[in-house]
Structures are given as C-alpha cells and as structure tokens.
Amino acid sequence: MLSKKSLNKLTLQTTVAFIISIVLSVVYIYYGSIVKVFDEGIRDYMFVVRGERPHNENIVIIDIDTESLEKIGQWPWSRDVVSKILTNLRDAGIGAIGLDIVFAENDRTSPHKILADYNTSIKNVKNYDEIFAHAIATTPTIVGYVFELVSKGSKREPPSIPVIIIEKNKQPGVNPIIEGKGMTLNIPIIQENAYSSGFFNHIQDSSSVIRSIPLVIRYGDQIFPSLVLELVRIALDINKIIINYDEVGVESISLGDFDIPTDRYGRFIINYLGAGKTFEYIPAIDIIENNFDKESMQGNIAFLGTSATGLSDIRATPLDIATPGVEVHASALDNILAQNFIIRPNYIDGLNIAVIIFLVFLTVFLVTYSPFWIWVNPIIMMLVAGASVYIVYYTLFEFKIVLDLFLPLVAIIISTIAVTFIDYFFEVRNTQLIKKKFASKVSEGVMHDLLENMEDNKLQAIERDITVFFSDIRDFTSISEASKDPSTLIKFMNSYMDPMSNIIIKNKGTVDKYIGDAIMAYWNAPALTKNHEEIAVQTALEQLHTIIELNEEIRQNEDFKEIVESSDARNKEPIDIGIGLNTGVAIVGEMGSSMRSDYTVIGDPVNLGARLESLCKYYNSKLNISHFVKDKLKEKYLYRFLDLVRVKGKKKPVEIWQIHDFDDKNQKHNLYKVSLDKIKEELSLHHKAIELYKDSKFQEALDIFRSLEELKTKTNVNIYKIYIKRCEEYVANFPHNFDGIYEHLTKS
C-alpha cells in the first residue's frame, strides 16, 4: 500500500502526464503544419540511412540532357525532331511513352509557320505540329499537361480521357481531392491525336521537397488521372478507375486488382529508391540518332523529360536536392507496379496522438520508478527515445506506414524533465523527513555522516568489517499468553523496545530490524565507527543494566499486572534477554526487490551472531561473544570461556565467551548480585578446569566442575552441568584424538 507521500507524488506525476499529453495533442491537432516540417526532415534522414534500393529496370528515362542540347540546339526543339524520338522508340518495341513535357504552343520553327508569317503560300510544305501529332497517334504515347492550382483566370475545355472514374462510398459534402483552377494543355492537334493524357503536377511541401504527387485532381465536375496513374491503367489494360473513400477522405485508388493507397487528398507518397538518376537515363540524342540498344527497350515504359539545369525541371527530394523532375514520376510508377507503397492511412492522426500519450505515461512511469540519480533519467530518456526512433524507422520501411516522430520525442524529453523536477522537489521538500527516518534507525552522528556523503555510494553493497548484535526476550511465549489484551502486549513490547533501541542509536549503532521480540543491530555501517567491537559490548552491557531498572518500572505498572504475576509464578523477572555479538567481514548495503528494499547486512558473521544469541539458552548466559570480538576488546570485562564449538553448517570451530559484566567495582548495578571478588574467584577456577578439560585431563576437570556446581554463589547454572556430563562421558569412554571441539548439530 502506498504511503501518503508516495501517493501525493504519484498523483502529481499522473497529473503532469495528463497535462503534457493534452498540450502536445493540441499542438498536433492545431499546429500540425508547423510540426510536420520537423517530422518530414526526420523522415528524409531515415531515407538517407536506409540507402538505395533496387528499381524496375523496365522503366527508363529519355533525357533531354546537356549533351543533347549541345548537338540539337536549344530547347524547344522542332517537333519533327521530337517525333523521331517517339517513332524510334516505337520501332524498338517500347511498351509505353509518357511525356513529362507539355506542348502548349505551335512550333515556331515549322516551315509552314515561317511561310505563313511572310504571307507566302507554297503547297506541300511540312507542318511539324502535324508530323508530331501523327507520331503521337501512331505510337503508345501518353501526353502530359499541367493543372493550375492557383486561379489565373484561364479556363480551358478539359481533355477527353478514355476511362470511367467511379467514386465509391463518397460521403455527401466531402470533397478532399485537390481542385484544379485552370489547366495548361497541349495544342489541340496534339491533344486530339493522343490516345490519352495525364497531368504531371508536382506539389512541393512547406520545405520545398517533393514527397508525394496527386494521382487525381478534380476540375469542375470531373476527376482526371495523373500521367503515372494513366500509364499504369493502360499497362494493365483497364478502363475503369475506382476512388475509394472513408469517413475523412480518399482511402485508396483501385485499378482492377491493383489497390493504391493514398492520403485523404488522393496524394501518393513516394517511396524513393535512391538519389537522382537512380533509373537508366538515355540521352535523347542517342534515340534520335538510333544509337541505342533496341532489344533492351522492348516492352519498357519510357518517360521523356529533362535533366538539363537550364530547363528548370530540377526538384528536391528526400534523398537529393537536385533530382530531375521526371524521376519523381518514374519513382511513383515503380512503386505502384511493385506494390511498394508508403502509407499514411487516414487513422494515422489518432494513432499518432495515442503514441504521444502512451510515451508520456511510459516515460513518467519509468523515470518515476527508477533510482533518483542524475545519470539514470537521461539514460532512460535516451533508451525510450532510441526505441521510438527504431520503431518508427522499422514501421516505415518494413510495414510501409508513416508514423510521426517529432512530437513523440518532444513528449519523452519534456516528460523526463518534468518528472525529474518533481523528484527533485520531493527530495528537497522531504529532506527533514528523511533525516527523521534515519534518526529512528541510527545515531544522529551516523545520520548526518550518511546524508553528507550520499555521493560516495554508501548505500551500495560493499564488504565491511562490522559487529553484529542480536537480542531476544527469554520465554516470550509465556509473556504473550499472560497478556490477554493485544494492546497491552504491544504497550509492553514498546516499553522494552524503545529504551533498548535508544541505547543502540546513542552508541552509534544501526538498528537493522525488529523480529518479533528480537532486535538486530550492527556497528561500523553505513558510517565508519572506530572500536566498534568495544562499543557493541558496552551497548549490550548497558542494556542488561537498564533492564534491571526497566523490570522495576514494569512491576509498578498496573497495565502489566498479569505479565508480572506470570513471571513471579515462574520465579523469573518480567524481562530477561540473551544477547549475541560477533564481528567479521559482511556484505553491507541496500538489498531487496524492486518493490521494497532495505539497508542491511548479510554474511557468515551475521549468521554466527544470531547463533551466539540463541546459544545463550543452552549455556545459561546473558551475553555471548565470539573470540573474533574478544580479540578486539581493550577494556576490562569479566570473561567466561564457554566452549569451543563447531556450529551447524560450519567447518571451522569458534570460541564462545560469556561476558558477565564490566570489571568495575563502581558499577551501579551488579547483574548477578554477587561480589566482584567472588565472581573472579569462580571464573579463575572455571578456567583452570577448562584448561584441564582441553588437555584431556577429564577426571581432574570433573572434580573442579563438581565443586563449582555446588557453589551457592555460582553465576551460571547450566555451564557446570554441561561440562560435568561431558567429563563423565569422556572418563567412561576416553576419546581418541580429542580436540576439545563440541559440535552443535542444531541451530539452537
């Protein structure tokens, strides 16, 4: 369940995500023409990255190039010369010829025109326009013309096109097809002798690049096909064109089984196959002089156009800023014949908006749930942006669908920046709360040291020499059973946990966790602590002394009457604890899952510390330490050697020592109510017996242990019984290769 702070933060981030989504959606809808410029630039670069693709070798361009102009003369050429191009191509078996040129005026170089200008009448004088018209009539030539898209006041009778055009599913009032305001046609004799004709309008976008061409244009009440569409229709021998509509405009144009996708205006997006002159260019002079490979020309479709700079038909495309205009039509024809389309379906606007919203929320989610480090958010931003670029690129060239990218990238960047600022705001705002939280776990000095050194990655998992602390209340089950009211039990536990935790924190320790009635803590992490072994021992003894006072307070508290009576019946104090301390190199750091983690310690030293605490019951001790701790201690304490053991799961033996108390006569309390001198005397005899036991002198050790067990002032009830039993067994059955190691086969 989310905390109030996390819920507030999540609410703010969700609100910001909604705001960003709405703003960018509005920009897309109302300022799409501005955004489109950037998207088209990105898409152009994707074409460059993709590189050239194979083209249809049956499409060729008859090029009125610089070489041809040098040999024939400046354009326009006399039409008898142009006629040779058509007839020579026909004789070579050409399939179809598309003229990317409009012949809107009479040929001024025609002999009959020159004689007429001089009022001279001579019979049988050549008329180049008639020759050219005859060539058009006797060759598979589709002539071209141009629509005026801006009204110039010129209205012409439209050409007759031998095709039926059907508008399918057209909604009333929907007229998205581009409308021609006028037209520039070929002179009547040429237009009338052509089998068919098509317009070859180029429509540049706002960046003066040709990315699409209209396949149909409306003029008055009629719809006319483009030169490319007419060439495809004739090649397929189809006499019907179907324009398919959906709710927003044109969806596609059908020619028999050919379904050509368009945008809502009937424009065809060109999938350019390469830079300028991707197709085979044949100089016009070679066709005129019959200096070309006629066999390779059979069945081809040829466009007659120009690449000469002076003839002003050089266009900018996504792959080349100087592409001959005729190649735009060749590329479109190649796409249609190969069914190699790039589609911008009419639903794309809705999809683009959905993508923007999805990326906003995805970015907000990823940044929100990532660690708040200065370098993480930019990496997330770059990964999401990179994935988006790849998906758009892959969709464009594999699925042939045009997706916009500019606003999605803007969405990713803005979302990352916004959430980063929100994270920063909450971090600054909640610094005091963080300090308070740390203060409940560690000492104030440790807290400040940790906060001041966050850049040192102190929360990352590292190896560190630590002292680990485990404590546990003895016979807690009886306490729980005696307390019939759960609230009383909780109050009782808090009365114990609070002072014990405060002692740990006061002594620069870190409270790791509370495990029921147990406390786990450690020293020397996250902040370094000198003499942490010494401090841990002093903390443990301070707790044991504090419990004496705490038990007095519990006895005087009416709320705990049932617990006190239960403990008196068992001849025990209300609270009695065992403590285990161990030191060693452990793994320290932030650990857990992506959903929940904690700063903690793990490793063998931690496990041994827990085992030492549990063995307090076995040895009847209050504070057990390992020899790893004892070897680091400098102060004077009352030590008792308990055992050399091999605990379950470990091969190396460990010395277990009990610390009775400080070796200080001025102590306020005496934990065992026995004079310091008598304790030292008892411990001296105990250690003498231990040495005999280690030397396999079991009978002599047994005699001392028996004498100690009979002491009325003995400070450990169980230890002598343990060694008496062992010595008796070894006296009866003397062990071979005795090493003094006792194996604990269980964990308690």
Spans of all domains in the chain: 4-30+347-429, 54-338, 442-635
**pLDDT band at 682; cut points 50, 70, 90:** very high
Distance CA 491, CA 347 (A): 65
Sole residue written with tokens 């008796």:
728
Model pTM above 0.95: no
Exposure string for 79-88, b = 16+ CB within 10 A, e = fewer:
bbbbbbbbbb
pLDDT of 189 higher than 70: yes
- From first CA to last CA, the distance across the chain in angstroms is 36
Contact 384/366 with Cβ under 8 angstroms? yes
Handedness of CA 711, 712, 715, 716 (dihedral sign): positive
pLDDT of 187 higher than 60: yes
For the segment 718-732, what is each residue's pLDDT rounded down to a tens digit? 999 999 999 999 999
For the segment 109-121, what is each residue's pLDDT rounded down to a tens digit? 888 777 766 666 6
Contact 689/724 with Cβ under 8 angstroms? no
pLDDT of 432 higher than 70: no
Contact 305/325 with Cβ under 8 angstroms? yes
Lowest mean pLDDT among 7-11, 86-90, 681-685: 7-11
pLDDT of 64 higher than 90: yes
Distance CA 494, CA 358 (A): 48
pLDDT of 372 higher than 80: no
Q: Which helix (H) or strand (E) element contains residue 199?
A: strand 196-199
For the segment 529-550, what is each residue's pLDDT rounded down to a tens digit? 999 999 999 999 999 999 999 9
Distance CA 437, CA 440 (A): 5
For the segment 83-97, what is each residue's pLDDT rounded down to a tens digit? 999 999 999 999 999
Tokens of 286: 């070679």
For the segment 276-322, what is each residue's pLDDT rounded down to a tens digit? 889 999 999 999 999 999 999 999 999 999 998 778 788 889 888 88
Cis peptide before 76 (omega within 30 of 0): yes
Determine the pLDDT at residue 459.
57
Distance CA 286, CA 292 (A): 6
pLDDT of 615 higher than 60: yes
Contact 201/266 with Cβ under 8 angstroms? no
CA distances from 178 to 225, 263, 265 (A): 12, 11, 6
Distance CA 703, CA 686 (A): 11
Distance CA 61, CA 57 (A): 11
CB atoms within 10 A of CB 359: 24
Q: What is the 3-state secondary structure (H, E, C) of 235-301?
A: HHCCCEEEEEECCCCEEEEEECCEEEECCCCCEEECCCCCCCCCCEEEEHHHHHCCCCCCHHHCCCE
User: Which residues lie closer than 8 Å to 260 by C-beta, 6 or more apart?
Assistant: 215, 229, 252, 253, 254, 268, 336, 341
Which residue stretches of 620-717 are H helix? 627-630, 676-694, 698-709
**pLDDT band at 205; cut points 50, 70, 90:** confident
Beta bridge partners of 99: 304
Lowest mean pLDDT among 269-283, 357-371, 545-559: 357-371
pLDDT of 261 higher than 80: yes
pLDDT of 258 higher than 60: yes
Mean pLDDT of 625-635: 94
Handedness of CA 543, 549, 555, 557 (dihedral sign): negative
Beta bridge partners of 148: 182
Contact 145/115 with Cβ under 8 angstroms? no
pLDDT of 526 higher than 90: no
- Cα dihedral angle (41, 42, 45, 47), rounded to 10 degrees? -100
Q: Helices 376-398 and 348-368: crossing angle, nearest 10°?
A: 160
Lowest mean pLDDT among 173-177, 431-435, 478-482, 665-669: 431-435
Distance CA 474, CA 362 (A): 52
Determine the pLDDT at residue 1.
47
Determine the pLDDT at residue 437.
58
pLDDT of 444 higher than 90: no
Q: Which of 124-133, 293-302, 449-458 has the highest mean pLDDT?
A: 293-302
Tokens of 81: 């010369």
Determine the pLDDT at residue 450.
56
CATH fourth-level superfamily of 442-635:
Nucleotide cyclase, GGDEF domain (3.30.70.1230)
For the segment 232-254, what is each residue's pLDDT rounded down to a tens digit? 999 999 999 999 999 889 999 99
Determine the pLDDT at residue 203.
84
Closest to 337 in 3D by CA, of 229, 493, 198: 229
Mean pLDDT of the chain: 88
Mean pLDDT of 633-656: 88
